């Protein structure tokens, strides 16, 4: 699902937070910043050590940072973020843009080539910062988030409200946080009242897990299914451990619509999933 980060000037992200981002999104990292009215893009890091060594030199600057999980396109430097819209404007992306991408190029690259570059060539860099164009882009990218940065240090976040600000830094989802517990350590089932039942440990003793799942609260939350769920319209089955991103939240019915990434790179969608079947901040 990736994570996109917008870090203002002077803010320092702890190394352990960046490590968590990389652990949960390990298919390539990169960052960009402006200096002396030039935009600098550094990317293609497939080991955290290499990323951090390069990033540490610029950590006090205003930076857009990205850690990738592959959906479309190869795992290679070319598909790593950030991308140039042109020589003076770059961007990073979190999410999947439907209708773009193939086995070679990511959906982000194709959207840039087919949409963003054309808009900028016609109307200039700042067109992407204007409300009418932002609304037009939003109607195409859905729940995705885009972060733009230009050579003058101006930035713009599309779908900013679908991410979250934490200690002065914007994150596109919660995969920068450590999981509350490890599913591999526990096993339990729900009864008809949806209460968590004790599991049996190696000594035959009945115990409850120390921490129970935390249902999502916002669009953009990253979750795992905690139980089997069959979508009522598509009849597709999702199982415990499947990772998903909340794309719509229904407080009145205590359900959510989610996008599930699949091994073949084609996203699956599940609608009206009970919140009790989802857990935030835990990643496979």
- pLDDT number for residue 284: 40
pLDDT surpassing 60 at residue 253:
yes
Residue of 272, 163, 280 lying closest to 216 (CA atoms): 280
Q: Contact, 163 vs 171, CB < 8 A? A: yes
CATH superfamily membership of 183-280: SH3 Domains (2.30.30.40)
Q: Residue 3: which H helix or E strand, with range?
A: strand 3-7
Residue of 118, 46, 40 lying closest to 79 (CA atoms): 46
* Numbered ranges of CATH 3.60.20.10 in the chain: 3-171
Distance, first Cα to last Cα, the chain: 12
Res. 184 pLDDT band, cuts 50 70 90: very low
Once rounded to an integer, what is the mean pLDDT over residues 172-184? 68
Instruction: Report the C-alpha gap between 233 and 175 in whole angstroms.
Output: 29
- pLDDT number for residue 263: 57
- Token pair listed for 177: 């946080």
**Of 56 and 241, more confident:** 56
* Numbered ranges of CATH 2.30.30.40 in the chain: 183-280
Identity of the highest mean pLDDT range in 3-17, 127-141, 172-186? 3-17
22 alpha-carbon distance from chain centroid: 12
Instruction: Report the C-alpha gap between 157 and 165 in whole angstroms.
Output: 12
Number of H helices, E strands in the chain: 5, 19
Q: What are the phi and psi torsion angles at 50 (to 5°)?
A: -65, -45
- pLDDT number for residue 1: 64
Q: Is 161 helix (H, G, I), strand (E, B) or coil?
A: helix
Q: What is the C-alpha R_g of the chain?
A: 20
Q: Contact, 28 vs 196, CB < 8 A? A: no
Q: What is the pTM of this model?
A: 0.68
Q: Contact, 30 vs 80, CB < 8 A? A: yes
- pLDDT number for residue 195: 42
Cβ-based neighbours of 19, under 8 Å, separated by 6 or more? 48, 52
- pLDDT number for residue 244: 87
Coarse DSSP helix, strand, coil percentages of the chain, rounded to the nearest 5 percent: 25, 30, 45
pLDDT in tens, 78-95: 999 999 999 999 999 998
If one counts every other C-beta atom within 10 angstroms of the C-beta of residue 125, the result is: 18
Q: What would the CATH number be for the domain defined by 3-171?
A: 3.60.20.10
pLDDT in tens, 208-248: 444 567 888 888 888 888 888 888 877 788 887 788 888 88
């Amino acid at each position: 699902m990736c994570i996109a980060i917008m870090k203002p000037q002077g803010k320092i992200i702890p190394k352990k937070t960046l490590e968590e981002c990389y652990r949960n999104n390990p298919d390539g990292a990169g960052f960009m910043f402006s200096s002396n009215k030039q935009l600098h893009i550094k990317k293609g890091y497939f080991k955290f050590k290499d990323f951090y060594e390069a990033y540490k030199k610029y950590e006090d600057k205003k930076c857009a940072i990205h850690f990738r999980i592959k959906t479309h396109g190869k795992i290679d430097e070319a598909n790593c973020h950030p991308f140039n819209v042109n020589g003076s404007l770059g961007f990073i992306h979190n999410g999947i843009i439907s209708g773009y991408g193939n086995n070679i190029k990511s959906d982000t690259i194709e959207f840039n080539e087919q949409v963003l570059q054309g808009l900028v060539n016609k109307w200039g860099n700042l067109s992407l910062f204007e409300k009418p164009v932002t609304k037009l882009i939003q109607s195409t990218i859905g729940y995705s988030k885009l972060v733009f940065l230009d050579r003058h240090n101006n930035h713009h976040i599309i779908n900013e409200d679908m991410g979250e600000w934490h200690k002065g830094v914007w994150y596109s989802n919660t995969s920068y946080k450590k999981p509350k517990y490890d599913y591999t350590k526990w096993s339990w089932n729900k009864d008809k009242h949806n209460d968590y039942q004790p599991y049996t440990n190696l000594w035959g003793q009945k115990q409850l897990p120390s921490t129970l799942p935390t249902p999502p609260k916002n669009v953009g939350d990253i979750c795992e299914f905690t139980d089997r769920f069959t979508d009522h319209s598509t009849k597709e089955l999702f199982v415990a451990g499947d990772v998903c991103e909340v794309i719509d939240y229904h407080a009145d019915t205590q359900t959510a619509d989610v996008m599930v990434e699949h091994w073949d790179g084609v996203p699956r969608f599940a609608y009206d999933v009970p919140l009790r079947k989802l857990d935030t901040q835990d990643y496979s």
